[in-house]
Amino acid sequence: MSIADNLHAVRGRIADACRRADRPVGSVTLVAVSKTHPPEAIREAYAAGQRDFGENYAQELRDKIRALDDLPGIHWHAIGHLQTNKARYVAGKALVHTLDRVDLARELVRRAEGAKVEALIEVNIASEPQKRGVLPADLEMTLATLGEVEGLEVAGLMCIPPRGEVAEDSRPWFRLLRELRDRHLPSGALSMGMSLDFEVAIEEGATLVRVGTAIFGERPPS
Ligand SMILES: *Cc1c(COP(=O)(O)O)cnc(C)c1O
């Protein structure tokens, strides 16, 4: 299967999930997670109509933005943990899905040089001790603090649920993220769902799904 074939299949599954959930297909943005895959793979997906791409590592994202700056209308998403000293690689150039602290927000705004910074808050949805992100119990306070950062717009919430065996294992966590969104950020985006569970995420309200393996194939072990 080529990247174009995989994309076609994933888009079909997104459309089916939208129909099941009684949602318009246009309400879900597919972010193709291209981390570790070469720029040529991104060009192939772009040629098949894909415009949104997600990367985990700030330097890799910076390099790919440069290598692909001839592609009009491409949108970049920074979906991995972002160190404050690497904020400059993505500020103003990518939608950050993993905002989890105010010093990162301030650095993103500073480095964006006047461009408005939109970011999603990463929520540690199952309060797992080894995971990053804002705890559900701290979300309200974090939102209040981030609300004071001028030039920043918190545009939604993101989560990576505990690794499950099957897609259904993620459903309660997706549902919880949606409830937090409804309560604290009513018009915000919901970035949730990966290759294993993006259809369940759409059924639970995802507006951004982050799909890597199902589009680009297995990543080389790192
Ligand atoms: C790698 C990654 C994805 C994509 O995962 P797949 O299982 O390959 O679809 C999505 N979100 C984040 C945060 C990731 O790190």
Minimum CA distance residue for ligand 1 atom 7:
195
Residue 5 zone, left/alpha/beta (φ > 0; ψ -120 to 50; rest): alpha
Single pTM value for the model = 0.97
For residue 157, what are the β-bridge partners?
Answer: 121, 190
Determine which helix (DSSP H) or strand (DSSP E) holds 111, and give its type and residue range. helix 102-111
pLDDT at 222 over 70: no
Distance 178 CA to ligand 1 centre (A): 19
Q: Is the CB of 211 under 6 A from ligand 1?
A: yes
Say whether 103 sits in a helix, a strand or coil. helix
The residues, any chain, with a CB within 8 Å of residue 207's CB and separated by 6 or more, are: 27, 28, 29, 156, 189, 190, 191
Out of 36, 56, 95, 163, mutate this one to test ligand 1's pocket (max ligand atoms within 8 Å of CB): namely 56
- Report how far residue 130's alpha carbon sits from residue 210's, in angstroms, rounded to the nearest whole number: 21
Per residue in 47-91, pLDDT (tens digit) is: 999 999 999 999 999 999 999 999 999 999 999 999 999 999 999
What's the whole-number average pLDDT of the chain?
Answer: 97
- Report how far residue 212's alpha carbon sits from residue 58's, in angstroms, rounded to the nearest whole number: 17
- Report how far residue 139's alpha carbon sits from residue 142's, in angstroms, rounded to the nearest whole number: 5
Distance 48 CA to ligand 1 centre (A): 20
pLDDT at 175 over 80: yes
